[in-house]
Amino acid sequence: MPKDSINPTKTSSWKKLQNHFNDIKEIPINNFFASDHNRAKKLSISLKNFFFDFSKHNINEETISLFVDLLNEIDLKKSIKSYFAGDKINLSENRAVLHTALRTKKKEIIIDGNNIVSDIKKVENQINSLTKKIINGSYRGFSGDKITDIVNIGIGGSDLGPAMVIDSLKHYRNHLNFHFINNVDGDYLHGILENIRPETTMFVIVSKSFNTVETLTNATTIRNWFLQFTSDESIGKHFIGSTSNVKKAKDFGLSDEKIFPFWDWVGGRFSLWSSAGISINIAIGPENYQNLLDGANYMDEHFKNEEFSKNIPVIAACLTVWYNNFFDYRSHAIIPYSEYLKNFPRFLQQLSMESNGKQTDKSGKFLNYSTAPIIWGDTGTNAQHSFFQLLHQGKKIVPIDFIGFKESKKGDKKHQDILIANMFAQSKALMTGNVNKSKNNHKSFRGNRPSTTILIKHLNPFTLGSLISIYENKIFTLGVIWNILSFDQFGVELGKKVYSEIMKNIESGRIDDNDSSTILLLKKYLS
């Protein structure tokens, strides 16, 4: 059993939290506000571009101080230190977890006797030099034409991060068009091929393993399509790879100087900061990409150095434990009030649920307490006109993160005022309700529904980097509290194995070695 394996529910701080929970669980959030006019000041954190308001929660100052005791008892400080130092905290795969190194300002981080910061810089410089040529048009395709379109081929972390960032930073993008091929859906693939020209398109294959069926199938279909227009030699000009399996990328036909490695200490869902973010780099240019990294580093430093009671990722993690393990609320909604962040909830789904959707502790023992909640969400105000009914009056209580921006980049002030007034109105209405005001139950709102509001100065590469880092470090903290391994993902493997058996059934027509439902489905499909 790992030395630092501690069942949190067996600690004395957890027991104190349990007693405290029993004392305050019935107190409506409204009452906390009524009895303390300084509550919002006390339960909020203000940083350069960020205001993190966690006052609209079923907590008081004692809750935070008891959580701080828990974090001290399980020695979160020590875990943070070994995470940033590159200790092999991914125990099941015997790997370090160092996506934070990809945005570090340090000159040296030694892993297995090697300074990985120089490796990172080397790859970064290679990518930057290619990126600049593509953007300024000096890079030419097989026909001598400039590149106009980039197609990112990847799935999971090799798609969600780059797609989310490129969408979010729409107003920082250059003239190039971007397309994302993630799913193995052939209709979708052809829909994209119909709209691009091979001679002006760069295909970016992102796959840490270079072994993912969807990505390899899509890449192969695209390569065959491409070769209808030109010869093999042009592949080197139009296909880039980002992978930690350089050999397989070469076997696919990529040329050495177009394969950008990333390392086993970067998890797929944490990889947008590595060469897996090459599409982002091309979309917004190296300078903006550096700002994205700097923003993440700024929040990493806050996480590393700030005391727990004023530490945004740490407080965010404690709130999740509070609702998930004490109140037994099962899901958590992410509602950004920016249409450009529409992919942010999807991105966080993988980041959070693939990391912390676990059933065993670090030593492999089955847990008897709950881990990651279900993450979901959509943009406000759109979501207000769809599922907010349930958030206000449904029988399930869903803690929410509202994310909004003080200033818009291009839109006029009126629009931003309406957008943000809506966000503030929702968090207020969800908390206050109207219980004493309505005699008609259909129209009654019981309130007491918790939310955090993250108000950010504006949406730019730096603040987006910081925002992502908040959630990455929150997820790390949750893994430490829950005593689980956040950086493997064995839960995706069984489906892959069964898929290959079913695929053999489809190819051979021999289907009998299945349950009757699967046999009937296969019959219907094959007939």
Question: Rounded to whole angstroms, how far apart are CA atoms 137 and 134?
Answer: 5
**DSSP-based three-state secondary structure for 279:** helix
Selection from 151, 143, 166, 282 nearest residue 222 by Cα:
151
- Residue 243 phi/psi, 5-degree rounding, is -160, 160
Q: To the nearest whole angstrom, how small is the minimum distance from the Cβ of residue 495 to ligand F6P?
A: 8
36 CB contacts (<8 Å, ≥6 apart)?
A: 42
Among 49, 60, 90, 158, binds ligand F6P (CB under 6 A): 158
Concerning whether 496 is annotated as a catalytic residue, the answer is: yes
Residues 348-377 that bind ligand F6P (CB under 6 A): 354
Q: Which of 124, 354, 358, 474 is catalytic?
A: 354
Question: Rounded to whole angstroms, how far apart are CA atoms 288 and 300?
Answer: 18
Among 58, 104, 131, 212, binds ligand F6P (CB under 6 A): 212
Residue nearer to ligand F6P on the CB measure, 49 or 158: 158
Which of the ranges 156-164, 181-189, 193-201, 427-435 carries the binding residues for ligand F6P, by CB under 6 A? 156-164
Q: Which of 107, 385, 395, 396 is catalytic?
A: 385
Among 269, 358, 362, 449, binds ligand F6P (CB under 6 A): 269
Selection from 206, 212, 351 nearest residue 276 by Cα:
206
User: Does residue 435 touch ligand F6P according to CB under 6 A?
Assistant: no
Concerning whether 26 is annotated as a catalytic residue, the answer is: no
Question: Rounded to whole angstroms, how far apart are CA atoms 501 and 499?
Answer: 5
| CA angle in degrees (0–180, nearest 5) for 116-117-123 | 90
One-letter-per-residue 3-state SS of 168-200? HCHHHCCCCEEEEECCCCHHHHHHHHCCCCHHH
Which of the ranges 22-30, 162-170, 205-213, 433-441 carries the binding residues for ligand F6P, by CB under 6 A? 205-213
Concerning whether 354 is annotated as a catalytic residue, the answer is: yes
Which of the ranges 134-142, 175-183, 202-210, 221-229 carries the binding residues for ligand F6P, by CB under 6 A? 202-210
User: Does residue 489 touch ligand F6P according to CB under 6 A?
Assistant: yes
Q: What is the DSSP string of 65-85?
A: HHHHHHHHHTTHHHHHHHHHH
Q: Which of 41, 121, 496, 504 is catalytic?
A: 496
User: Does residue 486 touch ligand F6P according to CB under 6 A?
Assistant: no
Among 209, 359, 363, 434, binds ligand F6P (CB under 6 A): 209
User: How many Å is the Cα radius of gyration of the chain?
Assistant: 25
User: Does residue 207 touch ligand F6P according to CB under 6 A?
Assistant: yes
**Active site residue ranges:** 354, 385, 496
Contact positions toward ligand F6P, by CB under 6 A? 155-158, 207-209, 212, 215, 268-269, 354, 489, 492
